[in-house]
Amino acid sequence: MTHIFCALSFLLLQADVDPGAAAASGPTGGSAIVEMLHNSGPVAMAVLGLLLIASLYSWSIILGKWSSFRRAAAQSKRFLRAFRKAGRLQEIAAVSEQFKPSPLVNVFDEVYETYRRQTGGYGPPKNVIAIERAAQTASSESLTVMEEKLTWLATIGAISPFIGLFGTIMGIVDAFHGLGTAGAATLRAVAPGVSEALITTAAGLIVAVPAVVAYNQFTARCREFGSRMDDFSRELLNSMEELSLKPNQDPMEREAARGLHQ
């Protein structure tokens, strides 16, 4: 990249600036960008079009993931409050669909379904290891869903600068070609190629930066949700293990333990 900017600087230093040409260089600001786009060649327009498609796709992923993660975080807090206030697992199972955006619900549903297959919904779990495996499987599946399409953000963030760099190289080639055609090192001869080089470089960075930032943030949120699911799995399993019937347990305590699972 340093060599590219050195080449651009060399072209600008070698070009003779004509005051009349500079005065007639045209509009400035936003209209200047429009003018540069209008004068861009087919290669530059293809690069910009590809970057535009990548940008729109990355922003659709960013907005979709941001909304889904926000809902998942809010519903997880509500679900935990309901779980800790409930007196029986059956109560949570009956209302779990209300908190469905939360990944904790998937963990609870899988664990509760495994528990029901073991006990029919009554009494302590017969195989805690099987329930632990069910919780791990549900956590893994939920994380897989949450991480869906994040690799596209990483890909767009990684390749967009190189796509822009391709446009930069082709712009420099066009600038050198303009010098050879004009036969004199004037600013008007190199300006189209230099403008193409700069605008494609800027476009590549504009597309890449939001994608990289969003990928890092969403990856961190996925790790956070993974930790929350692990903590909830342990909390759920602990609540079940505390209800394990002991040989010398009082009959009244046994009935109370059964009542929590009903």
DSSP string, 47-111: HHHHHHHHHHHHHHHHHHHHHHHHHHHHHHHHHHHHHHH-SSHHHHHHHGGGGTTSHHHHHHHHH
Question: If we measure between CA atoms, which residue out of 214, 213, 206, 200 comes closest to residue 1?
Answer: 200
Q: Which two tokens stand for residue 126?
A: 């017969």
Predicted local confidence at residue 113, as pLDDT: 87
Contact 127, 163 (CB under 8 A): no
Predicted local confidence at residue 90, as pLDDT: 80
Segment 112-166, tens digit of pLDDT: 888 888 777 666 777 888 888 999 999 999 999 999 999 999 999 999 999 998 8
Over range 224-252, report the average pLDDT: 71
Question: Torsion-angle region of residue 8: left (phi > 0), alpha (psi -120 to 50) or beta?
Answer: alpha
**Does the global pTM surpass 0.75?**
no
Distance CA 214, CA 73 (A): 17
Distance CA 150, CA 138 (A): 20
Predicted local confidence at residue 243, as pLDDT: 53
Q: Which two tokens stand for residue 24?
A: 């007639």
